Amino acid sequence: ASPGSYAWMFPKGDVLTVGVIQAKGSPDATRDYLRRWVERLGLQHDEVERSSGHLTQWRSHDSPLRRGSVIVAGDAAGLLDPWSREGISYALRSGTWAGEAVARVSVARGNDGHGALDSYVDRVSTELMAEVSAGLRLLRIFEAHPALVHFFLGFSGLGSRLFVGVCNGTTRLSTILASRAMRAALAVLRL
């Protein structure tokens, strides 16, 4: 697998969700990575209910969220965590904010509606892009030191608690990376 790649397996009702994430540009290598992961789990002879895959791309800071009276949210806006590729929470938050902005436009008169759309762009830029930036930084750390990141998340109590907190929405990556202890650790690693 290439740097920054990872695989997962988790239960979802009566089935297992098994997958891999790898950099774009090498679909055959990605399929091979998945095949090897399935074999490592001992699942190669089990029935596959559904097989799918798609490219994910996170937005850059200068990607537009609005053009005129059109705004984008969720996947259409490229809102996801570059490290985990999680995008559902981003879609829910940005979709809610977009709906609120559109509702304000519908009751506004004249140019006041454009201010509501601008407030959506400002909120996404302020609240979600800090998380996208933190996810991109964590991806770069993971690419440079995958064993260290795996060890920290899987074998240290602090790492496990932080990861669970990020997954359940009680902790933000940007907050973790901004902490004094994490900044010191990253400085030692020259990251």
pLDDT band at 92 (very low <50, low <70, confident <90, very high): very high
21 CB neighbour count, 10 Å cutoff = 17
Would 157 be classed as within a structural domain? yes
Would 61 be classed as within a structural domain? no
**Residue-level pLDDT at 175:** 92
Dihedral of CA 139/143/144/148: which sign? positive
- Distance separating alpha carbons of residues 18 and 16, to the nearest angstrom: 6
Q: Which helix (H) or strand (E) holds 19?
A: strand 15-21
Count Cβ atoms within 10 A of the Cβ of residue 154 and give its class: 0-12 exposed, 13-18 middle, 19 or more buried: exposed
Say if residue 191's pLDDT is above 80.
Answer: no
User: pLDDT tens digit string along 104-146?
Assistant: 998 876 666 788 899 999 999 999 999 999 999 998 998 888 8
pLDDT band at 1 (very low <50, low <70, confident <90, very high): low
Query: Do both 84 and 162 map to the same domain?
Result: yes
The count of structural domains within the chain is 2
75 CB neighbour count, 10 Å cutoff = 16
Sequence-distant (≥ 6) Cβ neighbours of residue 129 within 8 angstroms: 59, 61
Query: Do both 101 and 150 map to the same domain?
Result: yes
Query: Do both 130 and 83 map to the same domain?
Result: yes
Summarize the confidence of residues 69-81 as an average pLDDT.
Answer: 93
**Residue-level pLDDT at 72:** 96
- Domain with 162 in it: 66-188
pLDDT band at 94 (very low <50, low <70, confident <90, very high): very high
pLDDT band at 87 (very low <50, low <70, confident <90, very high): confident
- Distance separating alpha carbons of residues 138 and 178, to the nearest angstrom: 12
